Amino acid sequence: MVAMNADSSITLRYTPREGNPRRIRLEPAGFGEYDRIVEERRDGHWCVVGHELVDGVKLEAPAAIVTGNPVSFYRGP
């Protein structure tokens, strides 16, 4: 588990079996908080479908992708 830096952001993209592609973005909002933004791809554009302020963000992932260097993508096992 890796704690997020105050200036770090992370994006997770996925496609539900039925529905448009979605992504969850965690963007720094100051004072250790992040804005969790949920977006859906519609007509070629990302549209916000929800958001909330969160804190205590940590990234859990296999050790192979959690390094000191940014990861651009992960295709899974």
Residue 73 in any domain: the answer is no
The residue to which tokens 């963007």 are assigned = 27
Residue 53 in any domain: the answer is yes
Q: CA 15 → CA 24, 30, 56, 64, distances in Å?
A: 11, 30, 26, 23
Check the CA dihedral 59-7-11-70 and report its sign. Answer: negative
pTM metric for this prediction: 0.70
pLDDT tens digits in sequence order for the chain, 77 residues long: 555 565 678 899 999 999 999 999 999 998 889 999 999 999 999 999 999 999 988 877 776 555 555 555 555 54
Residue 8 in any domain: the answer is yes
Q: How many domains does the chain have?
A: 1
At residue 56, the pLDDT reads: 84
Residue 55 in any domain: the answer is yes
At residue 60, the pLDDT reads: 79
Residue 74 in any domain: the answer is no
At residue 58, the pLDDT reads: 80
Give the range of the structural domain holding residue 28, as residue numbers without chain letter.
Answer: 2-59
